Copies of this chain bind each other. A is one copy, B any other.
Amino acid sequence: MVAQHQTALSVVGDEDSAKRRQILDGARAVFMNLGFDGASMGEIARAAGVSKGTLYVYFADKNGLFEAIVEQEVLEQGKAAFNFDLARDVETTLKDFGTAYIQLLCRPGGGSSTRTVMAIAERMPEVGQRFYNNVIALTINRFATYLDARVTAGDLAIDDCQLAASQFMMCCQASLFMPFIFQAAPAPSPAEIAGVVDSAMNMFLAAYRIKPT
């Protein structure tokens, strides 16, 4: 009832309007597949199933629509909940996290938000920054916090947890992310990811696990 009422009152600017979502969905597909410049508002309108004019009812211009897409991506990926439960053993935690992270980064099916945002970062630096800070840096920070706790618990010996977090995440990308982003290889299979993450974990623990004397 309340929901119905809200719907009845919904205005164009409504952040949650169905049309707005519809447009965002269509636009995301086009932007992620063709890049900012490659995407035309006409194509986006067609993909979203609305008229070109409607695009401009919901978004000020192409930039605004693109920023909204990235913002949505930021929100969605920021919500990605990695399991940093201290009760679990370190190996499992690293493996699960690494796997989930790579799957997020190398999402199959064309449209990679990472590539699309990287591509435009030179001309829209605030968009690039925002994406980095709220998606990548955020994940690094969360993981670093976990590592910190492990250090405190006496399981790991890490000087710079931020760097260590970043190192692990980059190691997990080894042989996977670059070929994927350059279109030199398809999205990695779960098996490939598992192998690489496993190796990254071993490397990480070899360097940072406190060795029993």
Contact = CB atoms under 8 A, between A and B. Distances in A.
Interface of A: 33-38, 110-112, 115, 117-123, 125, 128-129, 131-133, 136-137, 140, 160, 162-163, 166-167, 169-171, 173-175, 177-179, 181-184, 196, 199-200, 202-204, 206-208
A62 to B, nearest CB: 12
B207 A203 contact: yes
Q: How many copies of this chain does one complex carry?
A: 4
Contact of A122 (B115, B137, B171, B203): B115
A168 to B, nearest CB: 8
B182 A131 contact: yes
A28 B208 CA distance: 43
A140 to B, nearest CB: 8
Contacts of A178: 132, 136, 166
25 contacts: A33-B122, A34-B122, A35-B119, A35-B123, A38-B123, A111-B122, A112-B122, A115-B122, A118-B119, A118-B182, A121-B182, A121-B183, A128-B181, A129-B182, A132-B182, A133-B184, A137-B184, A160-B199, A162-B175, A163-B175, A166-B175, A167-B203, A170-B174, A203-B208, A207-B207
A181 B121 contact: yes
Contacts of A36: 37
Nearest to A195: B163
A206 B205 CA distance: 9
Looking at chain A's contact residues, the main secondary structure is helix
B123 A34 contact: yes
A212 to B, nearest CB: 14
A156 to B, nearest CB: 13
Q: Closest 7 CB pairs between A and B? A: A119-B119, A37-B37, A132-B182, A132-B184, A166-B174, A206-B207, A125-B183
Given A35-B123, A133-B184, 14 more contacts: A35-B119, A35-B122, A110-B122, A111-B122, A115-B122, A118-B118, A118-B182, A125-B183, A128-B181, A131-B182, A132-B184, A140-B175, A206-B207, A207-B207
